[in-house]
Chains A and B, each alone.
Chain A
Amino acid sequence: AQKVTQAQTEISVVEKEDVTLDCVYETRDTTYYLFWYKQPPSGELVFLIRRNSFDEQNEISGRYSWNFQKSTSSFNFTITASQVVDSAVYFCALSEADTNAGKSTFGDGTTLTVKP
């Protein structure tokens, strides 16, 4: 069975601080996909990144970066120089490749508040 744990329920930072959101996953499959989604206060869910289990390279996109480590089953997300617009709920998700429907298991989410 697959499981995703986001241990940080809420994080509060001041603008321009760096912040890391943790994600730990469990799966028995060797081929799987990891995702991060953002849910701003307006409520929609926005896809941020997708990673497959064979690609452990870290990824950077502007102020966002992701650290995938299979040895610790973690896929952490760092926001550098945070801004008020980064305030949102962030979800980590896991999808095993052998399910023909591509269904995902989501973590409970981390609510990030960035104060001016």
Chain B
Amino acid sequence: NAGVTQTPKFQVLKTGQSMTLQCAQDMNHNSMYWYRQDPGMGLRLIYYSASEGTTDKGEVPNGYNVSRLNKREFSLRLESAAPSQTSVYFCASSEVISRAHSNQPQHFGDGTRLSIL
């Protein structure tokens, strides 16, 4: 029962370093998402992917890139980390039955706690 797996769980970077956060789901979901969670600000959508090969910007995409490598995997890359990107990052997936317009709940990974010094 792995669900959504994120790696790493913790990471400390220096300003300017690059890093890729990995996410994989084993539920055969078509949609995947990356969020950041900052104190008092809830979950903010960074990027999302409706299907393999497609990605779209969310609310706060600046400073990030994503890759939907296949149906299972959706990675988030910080090309040049900045202190403002210190946050907890969550990956999620869900099943969207587009013909029925039926949006199912999202399943979340355990999060990656990222600190940028």
Contact = CB atoms under 8 A, between A and B. Distances in A.
A73 interface: no
Contacts, number: 66
Contacts of A77: none
Interface string B25-41: 00000010101000011
Interface residues of B, number: 31
A9 B90 CA distance: 21
A34 B107 CA distance: 15
Interface in B91-108: 92, 94-96, 98, 101-108
Contact of A97 (B42, B44, B101): B101
B103 A33 contact: yes
A91 B58 CA distance: 18
A35 B101 CA distance: 15
A97 B49 CA distance: 16
Nearest to B29: A102
A50 interface: yes
Contact of A44 (B33, B35, B111): B111
Given A45-B108, A103-B48, A91 B43 contact: yes
A84 B107 CA distance: 25
Given A31-B101, A50-B104, A108 B41 contact: yes
9 contacts: A31-B101, A33-B103, A45-B108, A97-B103, A101-B49, A101-B50, A102-B104, A108-B41, A108-B42
